[in-house]
Every structure is written in structure tokens, then in C-alpha cells.
Amino acid sequence: MVVYLSGLARRTPPRPCRVFWRELVTDSMSRISRAGSQPPFYHPPAFAEELAFARQLAAQASAVALERCRHLSPREKANRSFVTDLDLDVERLLRDRLAARFPEDALTGEEHDREGGDGPRRWSIDPIDGTGNLVHGLPLWAISIGLLVESPSGDGESAAESESSPPHPVVGVIAIPPLGETFWAVQGGGAWLDDQPLPPLAEWDAESFHPQDNVSLSTNALRRLDPRRVPGRIRDLGAACVELAFLAAGRLRAAVFLGEAEHDLAAGAVLLGEVGASIRRLDAEGTRLTPARLVAETPVRIPTLLGPRGRVDALFERLDPYATT
């Protein structure tokens, strides 16, 4: 049997399912623990404390989630999506720890109302992104922690420009516990997978797609667009945070979003900015967005393309005649 974990293949003898799962959890928790304790190689001093704390907190929450993910109590929300006791408890853990460390910051997330201070900074949390995957035993779910700042220091904006501009995503951490991977980024400090820097998306860019290129479309996008017009191999991973992380790492060559909320995008937007992703709406104007604008104008109401600029533009040309606004 060949086991794929974190992009590596290992040949192992057959084992009972429970034994395999226990070893998988142990391996993932070990990787997450190391990732959470490693200091980043570079980050702007203004957000050093926030970044380090968010990474440590993601590691702690990941360990809790891995311990409990096989024993869940799911129920349906009003929109018929799943929520579990783990979603609620992880968000409560994240909120309590962030509130204790940064009491002046506001807190928002998927499962609870706004809390905390009324300053210019706000943490946007998705405790478990991909709950449907989690409930059905699919190992693609994530914990997302993003920090939004109204007027980050050193951005050169005037007071009037600052008032009209959206909050800036400045710190983002996406942990994928089943894979033992943590993606993180800080404004001006690059994007990283654990202790490895992610290269700019320009390295993956091209004006066309290979038949084996992975292109992700959310379920909403698949229902809105004609998938026959999409090149490459279509993927719907069921977790926007995972898709953003994989896009930043080049595992996906492009993505199409529709319907995502702020907490789905806040952390991943920092990754997108640091790897130089292009973001373009599938509207008549082909509107280009910054990562900050993408997050601010949520939920995503118009199909939106993400990826290296050349591939995004090529995808736009293929899909534009079929867009519905």
C-alpha cells in the first residue's frame, strides 16, 4: 500500500484502519507541533507578535481537532450546511486565546457573533473550513486565522484614502491538520509552507493550460458556469481555505470562487498577495481585484478567477461568454 501524506509517498504494509488512522494522526500532530514552534525566518516587526501567536494557536487548535475529529456530533444549520461540536469548540478556543492576548482587537468568525474591542484591527476566524469533508471522513479541512487592519502602518495612504479603502489582510495562517501542513503569510514577509518559502506564482504562469493542470471550481461556480469550457482537470475540494493554500503553493493552477464568505478568505488573501496572485471577476469589465478588495466584497457574488495572471486571463477568455452576472 502506498500512503500519500503531505505530498510524499510512503510504501507501507497493509494495516487495520484504526491503526492506520492512529499513526496518521500521530504523524500529523508531530508535524504541526514542529511547525507551530519554529520561529519564522522573516516577518515585519509590526506584526511579529501577531504572526507568532497565530501560528502557535493554529497548532494548538489542530491538535485538539485531530484528537476529536473521529467522534463528532454534526447537525444542519439553516442553510443546510453542517456544523459540529468541534466547529463550535475550536472557534471558542481561538476567540478566547486571541481575546486574552489582544483585548483591543475585534473578533469575528463563522459560528459566533462579533466580539472583542472596537479598534482598527479584527481577527477573522474559520474554525473548521470544510466541515462537510470532515463529517464524511475526507482529509481536506482546515483551520483559518486571519488578521485585518484598517490602516496598516507604512502603506503610504492618506487619511482620506484610508477611510475609503478596505481593511488590509496582514497576517494569515491556514492549518490543514489531516495533512500536517501549515501555510502562513504576513504582509511584506512572503508566504510559507511550514519552514519553506513559497515561490511567486509567476513561476507557474502560462498563457494556456496543460490537460493535467488542476483547476478548482467551487460547487456554486460549477452550477453557474459551463464546466466544459474549463481547461485541465476540474477539482472541487470542498474547502475554500484549502483551495487558497493549494493555489498559493502551485498545486492548483487556477481557482474559481463564488459564494465564499469573509472568514473563508481572510487568511488566504494574505497568501495570495504575497505570491502575486491575480484576481479577476467574470463580469463584463473583467474587473481586477486586490486581495483586500476580494475579502471586503464578500460574499463573493460574481464568479471570480484566481491564479497566475496569464492563466487567469486565459480562463477569463474561455468563460466570459458564459458568465452570468
313 is in an annotated binding site: no
129 is in an annotated binding site: yes
126 is in an annotated binding site: yes
Cα angle value 186/237/301 (rounded, 5°): 75
76 is in an annotated binding site: no
Backbone φ and ψ of 143, nearest 5°:
-115, 125
DSSP for 184-209 reads EEETTS-EEETTEEPPPGGGG--SS-
85 is in an annotated binding site: no
Q: Which grid cell is 90?
A: 475550536
Backbone φ and ψ of 125, nearest 5°:
-120, 135
Helix extents (H) in the chain: 17-37, 48-68, 85-101, 131-135, 159-164, 219-224, 240-248, 262-275, 291-296, 309-319
Give the span between the Cα atoms of 111 and 94, in whole angstroms: 12
Binding residues for Mg(2+), by number, are 110, 126, 128-129, 264
Binding residues, by number, are 110, 126, 128-129, 264
